[in-house]
Amino acid sequence: MVMDIRTYIEDIAKKAKRASVLLRGKRAEEKNSALFRIADLIQTRQKSVIEANRHDLVQGKESGLSEAFLDRLELTTHRVAGMVQSLKEIAAFEDPVGQIAGVKRPQGFILEKVRIPIGVVAMIYESRPNVTVEAAALCLKAGNSVILRGGSDALESNRALAAIVREGLEDVGIP
């Protein structure tokens, strides 16, 4: 049975909402563990990620993408290492969830601002496969689930990276 686009999007949104409820309660250590696991998986599977990216590059050249666009699309060993480094840097950030900033008002009460997750973040971005990993990592750190829609020119790269992110999350018990 073929699912229409509206049903497909609603299904994804409902799954993301359920995941956001589960993410809300994750401790910083759990989120950091997932970020490090994803970094390890990307590093270990670098060859397969670059191979998937080569497919996108060939398709891009055949469809006449500009050299500048192809450069943004390309994943090199250096750029993959940059993604791994970004994951580790994000893990090192202070966990924003639960941070409290308070101000005592002249009337005697304390006004507090408490940081909480938004819930679900949806991102549409062009063909920069590194955004798939970095957006997922930042949303995870902030306790949010995320719906990612990368450019079609990076389809195979994004599929490979998203599969790694999913596996890394599942490995540590995060949806």
Residue 173 amino acid letter: G
Domain total of the chain: 1
Q: Domain for residue 146, yes or no? A: yes
Q: What's residue 1's pLDDT?
A: 53
Q: How far from chain centre, in Å, is Cα 37?
A: 13
3-state SS, residue 102: strand
121, part of any domain: yes
How far apart (Å, rounded) are the C-alpha atoms in residues 155 and 52?
9
**Per-residue pLDDT band at 109 (split at 50, 70, 90):** confident
Q: What is the mean pLDDT of the chain?
A: 95
Domain that residue 134 falls in: 14-171
Going by C-beta distance under 8 Å and a sequence separation of 6 or more, which residues neighbour residue 89?
none
Which 8-state DSSP code applies to residue 87? H
Helix (H) or strand (E) holding 149: strand 145-149
For residue 6, how far is the Cα from the chain centroid?
23
Q: What is the pLDDT of residue 157?
A: 98
Q: Percent of the chain scored above 90 by pLDDT?
A: 86
Can you give the pLDDT at residue 2?
62
- CATH number, domain at 35? 3.40.605.10
What's the pLDDT score for residue 34? 98
Residue 6, in any domain of the structure: no
The average pLDDT across 17-45 equals 96
- Given a cut of 90, is residue 127 above it in pLDDT? no
- Higher model confidence: residue 111 or residue 31? 31
What is the rounded CA–CA span in Å between residue 83 and residue 80?
A: 5
Asked if residue 4 is part of any domain, the answer here is no
Phi, psi of 26 (to 5 degrees): -75, 135
pLDDT, tens digit, 9 for 90 and up, residues 49-106: 999 999 999 999 999 999 999 999 999 999 999 999 999 999 999 999 989 888 888 8
- Does residue 33 contact residue 170 with C-beta atoms inside 8 Å? no
Q: Average pLDDT, stretch 147-151?
A: 95
Pairing assessment for the beta strands 110-114 and 120-124 based on DSSP bridges: unpaired
The reply to whether 89 falls in a domain is yes
Residue 50 lies in a domain: yes
